[in-house]
């Protein structure tokens, strides 16, 4: 499955539509019609929309695959907490079997709540609630915590939950791919959807690489663009999250089961690790010890923090994960903080 996923990604992120995409055009038209009708139903109030009594920030993307939503979500938690606010997170709980809605704890099973929500709670220590229906998750979160701001992780297309602020993340190196909607391309919504977002966060953007990769056309950005860089924040042992200076050994095996493994491997190269082998699994892969039976004694294994939460029960001492965080400009922090405070003031009237 991972090989097929990588092949599809190569098709999607080329400049023009792959020949296979022409065969998928009928499915593309169905997807466009279905998603359009679905959004129209919410706009016409034919489907119920839940508006929470607290500000709701949605972090999402218009393309499939990893763009950097999780680091941005954690950065927003930190920003809001430094302002004395009490953020909570709602998530779909992708890969989790429920029951839903469910509050996440440090003892939660990732097979029930999903790997990303468990990691979000473990790292941030804020209340996290999971449910495929974000509105139910938001109501459950408010009933079982004292949070006064809700951050919806990957909820841009879930219109049943009303939102006050939208942050859409785009990978600077991959951009919007070939610009086609699913399944001919990677887009869930058209590129013009970016114009309606409060912020378009360009992950990996710097002035030096502004024209590198597949940059998003300026007509979709306006003055809303925010530059974000993902930075390494040190190594941890998978088995107990103990900080270490650097992985043991001269060479490592790199493992990734995320939406964009290439970004993680680039980070490892920046850390000057010698990677003897890379292993790519499907996003949200449910790891078992057998996945490592032929490598566990050869070299140290390095992985992402999201992968680590699923490997912890059977991790060996020489397995490590790289902790990362998002660097954001000060003016973005000031703007979004001011927006949230104004929304809270309006709610109190």
Binding site members for ATP = 63-70
What are the Cα distances from residue 148, in Å, to 77, 85, 242, 263? 12, 7, 32, 34
Rounded to 5 degrees, φ, ψ at 122 are -60, -40
Report the C-alpha gap between 253 and 278 in whole angstroms: 6
Beta strand pairing call for 243-244 and 149-153: unpaired
**DSSP at 50:** B
Query: Of the candidates 349, 337, 344, which has an alpha carbon nearest to the alpha carbon of residue 54?
Result: 344
Query: Of the candidates 175, 200, 201, which has an alpha carbon nearest to the alpha carbon of residue 186?
Result: 175
In a 3-state reduction of DSSP, which class is residue 90? strand
Tokens of 338: 């001011």
All residues at 6 or more sequence positions from 33 whose CB lies less than 8 Å from its CB, including other chains: none
């Amino acid at each position: 499955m991972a090989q097929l996923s990588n092949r599809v990604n190569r098709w999607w992120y080329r400049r023009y539509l792959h020949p296979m995409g022409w065969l998928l055009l009928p499915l593309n038209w169905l997807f466009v019609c279905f998603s359009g009708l679905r959004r129209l139903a919410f706009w016409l109030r034919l489907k119920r929309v839940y508006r929470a009594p607290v500000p709701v920030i949605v972090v999402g993307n218009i393309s499939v695959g990893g763009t950097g939503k999780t680091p941005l979500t954690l950065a927003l938690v930190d920003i809001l907490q430094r302002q004395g606010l009490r953020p909570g997170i709602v998530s779909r709980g992708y890969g989790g079997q429920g029951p839903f809605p469910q509050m996440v704890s440090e003892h939660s099973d990732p097979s029930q709540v999903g790997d990303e929500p468990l990691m979000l709670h473990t790292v941030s220590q804020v209340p996290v609630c999971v449910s495929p229906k974000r509105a139910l998750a938001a109501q459950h979160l408010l009933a079982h915590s004292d949070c006064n701001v809700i951050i919806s992780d990957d909820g841009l297309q879930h219109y049943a939950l009303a939102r006050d602020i939208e942050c859409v993340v785009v990978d600077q190196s991959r951009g919007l791919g070939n610009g086609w909607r699913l399944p001919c391309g990677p887009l869930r919504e058209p590129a013009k959807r970016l114009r309606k977002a409060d912020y378009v966060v360009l992950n990996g953007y710097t002035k030096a690489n502004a024209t590198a990769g597949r940059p998003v056309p300026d007509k979709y950005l306006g003055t809303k663009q925010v530059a974000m860089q993902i930075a390494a924040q040190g190594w941890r042992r998978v088995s107990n999250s103990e900080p270490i200076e650097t992985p043991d050994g001269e060479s490592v095996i790199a493992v990734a089961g995320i939406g964009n493994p290439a970004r993680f491997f680039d980070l490892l190269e920046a850390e000057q690790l010698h990677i003897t082998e890379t292993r790519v699994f499907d996003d949200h892969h449910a790891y078992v010890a057998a996945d490592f039976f032929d490598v566990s004694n050869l070299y140290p294994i390095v992985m992402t923090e999201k992968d680590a939460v699923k490997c912890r029960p059977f991790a060996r001492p020489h397995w490590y994960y790289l902790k990362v965080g998002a660097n954001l400009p000060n003016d973005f922090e000031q703007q979004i903080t001011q927006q949230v405070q104004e929304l809270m003031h309006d709610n109190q009237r």
